[in-house]
Structure 1
């Protein structure tokens, strides 16, 4: 059974809460600024889960394929997207695509859960066209959200975070296929600070201009293929 199979039907519930919605909006905003998706492009969503980012890209005019190892997560994604997005089950470290097929590859909140992150990044680059972008969203290990999730994983052996690995930007530079083109940080509101969305956005806007890794709960890294 794939790691996220048991969570498939309830995976999106958190994003419907005020805190989850806030986090989702922050992450979409940062990932969009870094990825710069353009209508008419061909994209692949690596570790697509229930298809939220696949649908998001499709709604911006991209042709999208979502890839995940969990068939139950993919079943939810197919219901969500109808026939607008193609979804396939595959191992992200051995993608069933020829080299040079996509303009954009995104991989959000996924690298923390794979067995071989270096292989996943190499595959993400391989399937890109020259000039294509690989954009990876992560929970940086220096931030309060990684601390929260690490504690949850230690206390609950059945949690998906039990075997999760979190990365700093220096870690990512070491395992990445080449020097990153861009990195941006966000989600400076810690788990204990959230009261409501309006105050959270005010705090995020106040802290975001620092663009420092410590204190950030989200990190987006982009590589360009030569």
Structure 2
């Protein structure tokens, strides 16, 4: 369990040190529209940062992540319904129309194509369910991806991060049966010194229909 404590401490301290406000922004956009006792799927739950505020607000969180170490970290924080699954593989391990809401705050930057996630969110959520998520933001003229150097990844490898424009996101919502509700842009810092930054945007949408 010492290793799990180290994982939690590293990720959570990095998030705090770099000013990662994605979870707070997502919660702020959503909290007025959810109720205690409802269910929420955290897609790529990590150490639970994205949905811990909803857990504290009384929602029942179902978490999914590829890493067993991350799921162990979530258990240490009080999450109990956790599933190990590769997010790039569909279907996800949940029944159709079985969960009220969904959240995804730290995953979309690793996906060039978000279609499968939207498809599964539509399948899993009840009609009227909310889907709140965070993307790396870009204009239509900006590059679709950026390379994050080793000085920021804290490893020996660079990482490709994908950015998604408002046109892309609105198109995905329409294609997969969601209607936009609210969105908010905010700054993400890539290092503790807060000298390297990028824009992010959180979107809140509602499932309108199934996929035709």
Q: What's the TM-score once normalised by structure 2's chain length? A: 0.74
**Counterparts of 1:61 and 1:69 in 2: how far apart (Å)?**
25
1:74 is aligned to 2:71: yes
Q: How far does the alpha carbon of each residue in 1:29-55 deviate from its partner, in whole angstroms, 9 at most, with x for none?
A: 321232233211111101101112232
Partner SS for 1:101: coil
Alignment of 1:96-107 (within 5 A): 96-107=93-104
**Which residues of structure 1 form unaligned runs of 5+?**
1-6, 196-214
Distance 1:40 1:139, change over 3 A: same
2:37 corresponding residue in structure 1: 40
Of residues 50, 56, 64, the one that matches 1:53 is 50
In 2, the alpha carbon distance for the partners of 1:179 and 1:118 equals 13
Determine helix, strand or coil for the equivalent of 1:31: helix
1:55-76 CA-to-partner distances (Å, cap 9, x unmatched) read 2211100111111112222222
Per-residue deviation at 1:107? Answer: 0.9
RMSD: 3.2
- Closer/same/farther in 2, CA of residues 55 and 165 from structure 1, 3 Å limit: same
Pair 1:219-2:201 in alignment: yes
- Between Structure 1 and Structure 2, the one with more helix by share is 1
Residue 41 of structure 2: SS of its match in structure 1?
Answer: strand
Conserved in 1, the CA contact under 8 Å of 2:41 and 2:62?
Answer: yes
- Say if 1:133 and 1:223, in contact at 8 Å, map to a contact too: yes
Please report the TM-score for the alignment, with normalisation by the length of structure 1: 0.69
Deviation at 1:225, TM superposition (A): 1.5
Quick check: 2:182–2:205 contact (8 Å CA) kept in 1? no
Change (3 A) 1:222 1:65: same
Q: CA offsets, 1:115-154, max 9 Å, x none?
A: 6520111101211111111111112134xxx99x934248
Deviations 1:152-180 (A, max 9, x none): 24887844x62321111112223332454
Tell me which residue corresponds to 1:203: none
Other structure's SS at 2:102 match: strand
Kept in 1: contact 2:148–2:161 (CA 8 A): no
- The whole-number CA distance in structure 2 between the counterparts of 1:152 and 1:137 is 18
